[in-house]
Amino acid sequence: GAVVSQHPSWVICKSGTSVKIECRSLDFQATTMFWYRQFPKQSLMLMATSNEGSKATYEQGVEKDKFLINHASLTLSTLTVTSAHPEDSSFYICSALSNRQETQYFGPGTRLLVL
């Protein structure tokens, strides 16, 4: 089946630093990847849609300068949380779209804690 990995699985950082999260599709190519944020006991909130070779499309209310997304290849998208603050602490989940199957496959998530 389709496998999506995320790295790191968890990260603790100091306020003001930047954190990069990688999302990889391991056995399929993904022109489109998605980044979600999930708060405790809540559903997923779509942050942005990442398309290979072009700029990401951000959802309303998501700061594009704070959450930098790069999708340089068909198997890798990265999310960089710049100048992280404690309120950015959350569970970040990526997904990759398998175009042939019209289905999103999700990564295991990255838990970010900003102190």
Partner 1 sequence: AQSVTQLDSQVPVFEEAPVELRCNYSSSVSVYLFWYVQYPNQGLQLLLKYLSGSTLVKGINGFEAEFNKSQTSFHLRKPSVHISDTAEYFCAVSEGGSYIPTFGRGTSLIVHP
- Residues at the contact surface with partner 1, assessed by CB under 8 A: 4, 6, 32, 34, 42-44, 46, 49, 91, 93, 95, 97, 99, 102-109, 111
Q: How far is the CB of 89 from partner 1 (least distance, A)?
A: 14
Q: How far is the CB of 66 from partner 1 (least distance, A)?
A: 22
Contact predicate 93/107, CB 8 Å: yes
Q: How far is the CB of 1 from partner 1 (least distance, A)?
A: 8
Output 6 or 78, the one with its CB closest to partner 1: 6
Q: How far is the CB of 106 from partner 1 (least distance, A)?
A: 4
Output 57 or 70, the one with its CB closest to partner 1: 57
Minimal CA–CA distance to 19: which of 88, 77, 109? 88
111: which strand partners?
10, 91
| Distance (Å, whole) CA 12 – CA 108 | 17
Contact predicate 112/18, CB 8 Å: no
